[in-house]
Structure 1
């Protein structure tokens, strides 16, 4: 296919009149399942054990608090994206609300975060696959996954949508089945199981064995598991009706995700003594083992494997669209602006994949040194992104109400008070990270990376002003 240059224009709110030059191949079912499955990943299936260890049964409250914060962010993002859909989503919103420096900073930081985290997902999936087929080395599996999903993302956006639809369907199905089995076991309906009732919730030190400080520590352990929801608003720009599609996806996703997270945590801590949970090992496997499900470990291995590949696919997609949007606004090399005849930004995909490969190589060769520093540098970037989403929504809501109120088809709850509550919540997480010896290095490295990008953005602003003055 031949490449075609893009075109864009600006409307009253700073958005594009002509629409995105990308393909419109994503359907409502793709976006709905992307919203549902986007945050159901290894962080939930495996990482939740660390949260249970510090909060006990109170981990359900930790997920409720962290999930509420994520829901507020998604509602804000949904409001802006339904009014002004764009492939750069929150990067475009930040530029419209705060200026070029904000769009540049949040766009490049988010892109950097995706291509680094991609390495963790590719390596994790390769480790599982290597356990199944040891004849293929770990690096061989990484290569297979990267090439496969690169091809899928280069072909057509509907390929991405279909893969994510079925990945998300499997993950959601696994969670629903887990909840059903867990509830049947709790009430003693399953064969060979006795009703445990509320014994594990009230024993072992009570529902809050480590007090509210444990719940707070649990929030810190689980809040970043909600990262990934943002991709649905990026993808909405490539649907047939972006404004309607993103609104429906956001509405259907947030409540169900909270139900899946909090519900599965309550099932786990009801069926197992919280003190028996081992960090780094899946509490879901422990529950399935208790229920006598044969091959529980391998079943969960399959689910985690699918979750990792799903995240890998979504990150390749999200990073390519973000860097394409940056190029569209003159914030990245113009060569990335061309799209294929089928509406796929192939150069942006290849640029993102190239840095993804570099990250994977660093993770395979220096997982505890060079790559660890990179991972720490993006570990808390999500808070910066969420913060700019909230500030952007505060600014843009008033502007949209003045210039195009009919575009506010999805509104933020309790504006502006809940937006300020979300900002206060993010500030509290930052304070918690500073006070936590384990999380502090991650926050400081991420703050350093953010400061560097802001410095570059500021230098560009100064340069452009001098040029315009001359």
Structure 2
């Protein structure tokens, strides 16, 4: 390390006290934050667009997407078990790929999260239109946006408790939907005969738009899995990061794969795929609502609409949280204005939270001037950012495996080889993104955005960034201190038990 870099490192360490996030998230809260981010509009609202592209074969698309997401999630989780650092995978990318990659990873993810928060609020307003068709989209976005800002400015513990509650509602509801849906398909319910699987093969067969439609629809479906990397960000505020990351990563991969594949199977099996794809050009209702409307069960449809509204609100909440933490990390490392690194008395980076509300403003503007195209336009820009982040995460993991010892308890099966396959699949999704109708302009805007960011980095940021090794020291201390406390507690209980005999 050069003398200049060493000076920067000490400067960063010296001011860390006023910038340190508080480790107050419990194991359950951390798991639900990850689930809250990933289970949002990508499944409940965006699935209609994917169904329009691939027909019943969208089941295969979600299966492939689940496998790819599991690779990314496992790689992220393995690195986070060892280094539960502030800035998560972005800080890790800085260490193993260099400052430029670390900057791009974090700024891309920050951009994705703030836009996703806006997309989710568009969805919340859309679901409100199911009950109040005349309500302007911007009204719902503004009202719920203010509520989320207030929540995220309080302590992270309060945020974690509410996110746990919201995510629990939608996880329980999805499980109930799966059980009811599978019964309707294979056994029937009182007053409703078994639907069977005929709709999977009617109207053009299982792949009505050809095998290429499975590949092209990945450009939309992968949006559904945005949030799988949230585990690395929340690890910096977990009480027991090592245990929480291990179990949360495993639960996330199993649950998301099950939820997505089975849920989409139920949708395209119960109603014809052309009806289920009604969201392909206009965002008016969720396919999950249409399932029950098709069966004439209107009361349940209202409940499902409520659940998917909660899902979108929960995801917006989790993404605003993540965006603020990434911007805080960039500021601590000198890659964003220093003022954004400050935290309030509750340990919340309040200024970073305010800046991260920019996606809500964009969502309101799109809702005012281009309401029908707002959802898909933002999805494609987000996908450019997400794909960039995922590729850099896997590249960082490949380098990480070359220089770090094996992680105990949790690791990506196949290691570097599996990560390399994941990179190739992500490049295939990149190509598909530019071939989907309506995606060219948003995708080009996304690429242009990265060109501007790259120029900004080399012109200014590379001269001001710091090498913050202190965050790695703090992360290892947090893991070691928790393990030591747990050992002392277990030892005390054992001693008390012996004395009580």
**Kept in 1: contact 2:335–2:461 (CA 8 A):** no
Aligned partner of 1:448 in structure 2 is 448
For residues 185-334 of structure 1, what are the structure 2 equivalents within 5 Å? 185-280=184-279, 281-334=285-338
Q: Which runs of 5+ in 1 are unaligned?
A: 1-7, 466-470
Structure 1 SS opposite 2:25 = coil
Q: Secondary structure at the match of 2:415?
A: coil
Distance 2:458 2:372 in 1: 30
Match of residue 367, structure 1, among 365, 370, 375: 370
- The 3 A distance-change label for structure 1 pair 243 and 210 is same
Aligned pairs for 1:58-457 within 5 A: 58-129=57-128, 132=131, 139-280=138-279, 281-353=285-357, 355-367=358-370, 377-401=381-405, 405=406, 407-457=407-457
Question: Contact 1:9–1:18 (CA<8 Å) still a contact in 2?
Answer: no
My pick for the range that moved more, 310-319 or 331-340, is 331-340
Distance in 2 (CA, whole Å) between partners of 1:69 and 1:292 is 37
> Partners of 2:122 and 2:141 in 1: how far apart?
6
Distance 1:259 1:346 in 2: 36
Cα gap change, 1:270 to 1:32, in 2 (>3 Å): same
TM-score (norm 2): 0.82
**C-alpha separation between the residues in 1 aligned to 2:379 and 2:222?**
17
Alignment correspondent of 1:3: none
Which 10-residue stretch deviates more, 392-401 or 320-329? 392-401
Aligned residues: 449
Deviations 1:235-281 (A, max 9, x none): 12101011221121111111111111111122222222223323314
Residue 38 of structure 2: SS of its match in structure 1?
Answer: coil
Worse-superposed segment, 387-396 or 191-200: 191-200
Give 1:427 deviation, angstroms: 0.8
Moved more, 332-341 or 125-134: 125-134
RMSD, aligned α-carbons: 3.0
What displacement does 1:157 show?
0.4
User: 1:124 & 1:53 partners in 2: Cα distance?
Assistant: 19
Moved more, 207-216 or 254-263: 207-216
Measured after TM superposition, the shift of residue 138 of structure 1 is: 5.3
Measure the CA separation in 2 of the matches of 1:19 and 1:235. Answer: 19
Match of 1:31 in 2: 30
The alpha carbon displacement at 1:397 in A equals: 1.8
Indicate how the Cα distance of structure 1 residues 265 and 119 shifts in structure 2: closer, same or farther if over 3 A, else same.
closer
Q: 1:285 deviation in Å?
A: 1.9
Which residue number corresponds to residue 52 of structure 1? Answer: 51
2:356 alignment partner, SS class: helix
Q: C-alpha displacement at 1:184, in angstroms?
A: 1.2
For residues 204-229 of structure 1, give each alpha carbon's deviation from its aligned partner in whole angstroms, at most 9, with x where no partner exists: 33323333122223322311111122
Report the alpha carbon displacement of residue 122 of structure 1 after superposing the two structures with TM. 2.4
> Could you tell me how far 1:79 is from its partner in structure 2?
0.9
TM-score (norm 1): 0.87
Going from structure 1 to structure 2, the CA distance change for 1:431 and 1:135 (only over 3 Å counts) comes to closer
Q: In structure 2, what is the Cα distance between the partners aligned to 1:462 and 1:229? A: 29
Using the TM superposition, name which of 125-134 and 284-293 deviates more.
125-134
CA separation of 1:417 and 1:350: change in aligned 2, threshold 3 A: same
Alpha-carbon distance between aligned partners in 2 of 1:184 and 1:437, rounded to the nearest angstrom: 36
For 2:327, what is the secondary structure of its paired residue?
Answer: helix
Please identify, of 292-301 and 415-424, the stretch whose mean Cα deviation from structure 2 is larger. 292-301
Aligned twin of 1:459: 459
